[in-house]
Amino acid sequence: MAGESYLRWLVDETPTRWWHDSGDPLELERALAHGASGVTTNPVLTNQALRARPEYWSPLVGSLDPHLSPEERAIALMHVVAYHAAAKLEPYYQTSGGEGGYVCAQVNPAKAGDREAMLAMARRFHAWAPNIAVKLPVTSAGLDVLEECIAEGITVTATVSFTVPQVLAVAERHRRGLARARQNSGVPARCFAVIMIGRQDDYLRDLAADNRTGWSEVDIRQAGLAVTKRAYQMFKSEGYQAVLLVAALRGVYHMTGLAGGELIMSIHPKIQAMFGPGVSRQAGISEPVDPQVVQRLQRLLEFRRAYEPDGMRPEEFISYGLTQRTLAQFYDGAWAMLENFKF
């Protein structure tokens, strides 16, 4: 893997940690050997992992009850992939005292507004392994469930999240959940607040083209970085215990722009392979995005909603265009396929 030395540099020389963004078992072995401290799965990655190696998974999948309902079948398949990864990382989870070794398992994206359904799934997924981080969408309902999970000692990865107001809301609800857990003598749970950095760029690129703004690709490629760096500075100044987790990276520029930050990057094997000789090993987290670039981007309402701390209220998160786009992809392009999965 071409990026091995860079990934090891991140682990050994900076506070930045990285998670492996794939459920594929062979890719996971390589990632763990080069410093990965967690694993991201979601419906898309689970579906891809199963279909890429049917000979590996068929003994496990073949034992599933053929009479399961579609949703139960999707959950069972999520369990197969997430549990496999969790078993691989549990030794690290134990030796690190719960600092690392987590594996994500995502609730049904079609239930992003259903508090009762998401909480029931979160409790169920939590029981699979001690190092499962339940993935909840950052909607108003998802935030309510997140706080309840933290109060109950369930670690959460807050996903379908792209904006400063979303991750600030996550950090605040994590703080409230921690206070409730301590009040009830419970075990405090960890929280990873996701920014899907490349999806922000993709979304604004489409909006810019549709509105004929004529923005340069140079500006667009810095939109997600601007959002993430602003969130990072606010997390530091507020002393939040939630950890920023940057996902959906699109290239080397995302990693080098954030290197050195006290955060986690979830890196797909395609991005891992982009690193080679000549890639900067300087910490880029303290380098601000050009204010003139930010000023140009702020001409677009959807960037302002993402960049400003008060750009959206929690009840608006579910209707944000990028939230709807991502939930649709996760359900139609993956969860629904798991519901009808056959080798």
- Structural domain contains residue 59: yes
Q: Which residue in the block uniquely carries the two structure tokens 């990873």?
A: 192
Of 27-31, 78-82, 209-213, 286-290, the one with minimum mean pLDDT is 209-213
pLDDT digits over 198-224, tens only? 999 999 999 988 888 777 899 999 999
> Domain range spanning residue 121?
4-336
* Whole-number Å distance between alpha carbons of 278 and 275: 8
Question: Which CATH number goes with the domain that contains 174?
Answer: 3.20.20.70
341 found inside a domain: no
Tokens encoding 160: 């379908």
Mean pLDDT computed over 28-33: 93
How many structural domains are present in the chain? 1
As a whole-number percent, the residues of the chain with pLDDT over 90 amount to: 88
Q: Does residue 46 contact residue 23 with C-beta atoms inside 8 Å?
A: yes
Rounded CA-CA distance 138/121 in Å is 16
pLDDT digits (tens, 9 = 90+) for 149-192: 999 999 999 999 999 999 999 999 999 999 999 998 888 899 99
CA distance linking residue 85 with residue 40, whole number of Å: 9
Two tokens at 19? 């998670």
- Domain presence at residue 218: yes
Helix (H, G, I), strand (E, B) or coil at 343: coil
Contact 35/54 with Cβ under 8 angstroms? no
Q: Measure Cα distances from 105 to 165, 170, 250, 314, 322 in Å.
A: 24, 18, 22, 23, 21
Give the pLDDT mean for 221-247: 98
pLDDT for residue 5: 84
The answer to whether residue 343 sits within a structural domain is no
Tens digits of residue pLDDT in 45-100: 999 999 999 999 999 898 899 999 999 999 999 999 999 999 999 999 999 999 99
Place 276 in a pLDDT band, splitting at 50, 70 and 90: confident
Does any domain span residue 342?
Answer: no
Q: Which two tokens stand for residue 182?
A: 């301590």
Residues 243-258 have a mean pLDDT of 96
pLDDT of residue 277: 74
| pLDDT score for 278 | 77
What is the b/e burial string over 208-226, where b = at least 16 CB atoms within 10 angstroms of the residue's CB?
beeeebebeeebbbbbbbb
In a domain, 146, yes or no: yes
**What pLDDT is attached to residue 281?**
86
For helices 164-183 and 223-238, angle between their N-to-C axes, nearest 10 degrees: 30
Could you give the percent of the chain with pLDDT greater than 70? 99
The reported pTM is: 0.96
Average pLDDT over residues 89-112: 97
Asked if residue 128 belongs to a domain, the reply is yes
CA 339 to chain centre: 22
Tell me the pLDDT of the chain averaged across its residues. Answer: 95
Exposure of 245 in the CB half-sphere (CA atoms within 13 A): 32
The pLDDT value recorded for residue 2 is 59
The answer, yes or no, to whether residue 19 has pLDDT greater than 90, is: yes
Distance spanning both ends of the chain, measured CA to CA: 29
